[in-house]
Amino acid sequence: MKKYLQYTAICLLACLLQQCSYSQNNKDAENTATKSNTTKKNPVYSTTDTAQLKLTDAEWKKILPARVYEIARLKGTERPFSSIYENFKEKGTYYCAVCGNPLFQSDTKFESNCGWPSFFEPISKGSIIYQQDNSHGMSRTEVICGRCHSHLGHVFHDGPPPTGLRYCINGVVLNFSKAQKAADNYKNKKKAD
């Protein structure tokens, strides 16, 4: 009986050890996967540098996450209603996810219900470049980033006042940054509370 108990205890211990190393391996795999998604180095990303960027497709592919590369450089379109920015109402600035160029302010964002984040006006004239797009049997105006010339989306003439424009933008190529002032106010208010 004693022997049997000893045997059971050893089995249990071995099993626990195995379980332990299994979950450790799993964690390592998870960490590696997360790292490869988030630590992709993009040496040209800057929210202050305005110098024009001219990289080859191969160079972009190396430094951009796959889904950003596909929309921005291969003129892809994200699935409608798939962007976290579609019904997003935080105050702040939207930057080009490829290069960091400031594109839109949150106070020019509106609910278009078209399935993509929509704005009625870019931050400045130079932040966006307009191009004729006759693909897919349609005549549209494509909007590209003024700094890195990445595809962002299209602009249509059915937007709200004051511009009457609707910049229909793929959320994948946007990076949002909360307004610093608003964030500070919030922090101070919290402290006062």
Residues annotated as part of the active site: 168
- Helix or strand run (H / E) with residue 28: helix 2-38
Say how far residue 50 (Cα) sits from the centre of its chain: 20
Draw the binding track, 101-130, toward Zn ion (x: CB under 5 A; -: no contact): x-----------------------------
Q: Which of 148, 155, 165, 168 binds Zn ion (CB under 5 A)?
A: 148
SS3 at position 130: strand
Closer to Zn ion by Cβ: residue 51 or 138? 51
Give the length of the chain: 193
Q: Does 169 bind Zn ion (CB under 5 A)?
A: no
- Burial class of 6 by CB neighbour count within 10 A (0 to 12, 13 to 18, 19+): exposed
Exposure pattern of 146-166 as b/e (b: 16+ CB <10 Å)? Answer: bbbbbbbbbbbeebeeeeebb
Shortest approach of Zn ion to residue 57 CB, angstroms?
15
Shortest approach of Zn ion to residue 148 CB, angstroms?
3
Under rule CB under 5 A, which residues in 86-105 are in contact with Zn ion? 96, 98-99, 101
Closer to Zn ion by Cβ: residue 65 or 160? 65
Closer to Zn ion by Cβ: residue 73 or 147? 147
Closer to Zn ion by Cβ: residue 98 or 165? 98
Q: How many CA atoms lie within 13 A of 121 on its CB side?
A: 11
Q: Which of 123, 144, 145, 168 binds Zn ion (CB under 5 A)?
A: 145
Q: How many residues bind Zn ion (CB under 5 A)?
A: 8
Q: Given the rule CB under 5 A, which residues bind Zn ion?
A: 96, 98-99, 101, 145, 147-148, 150
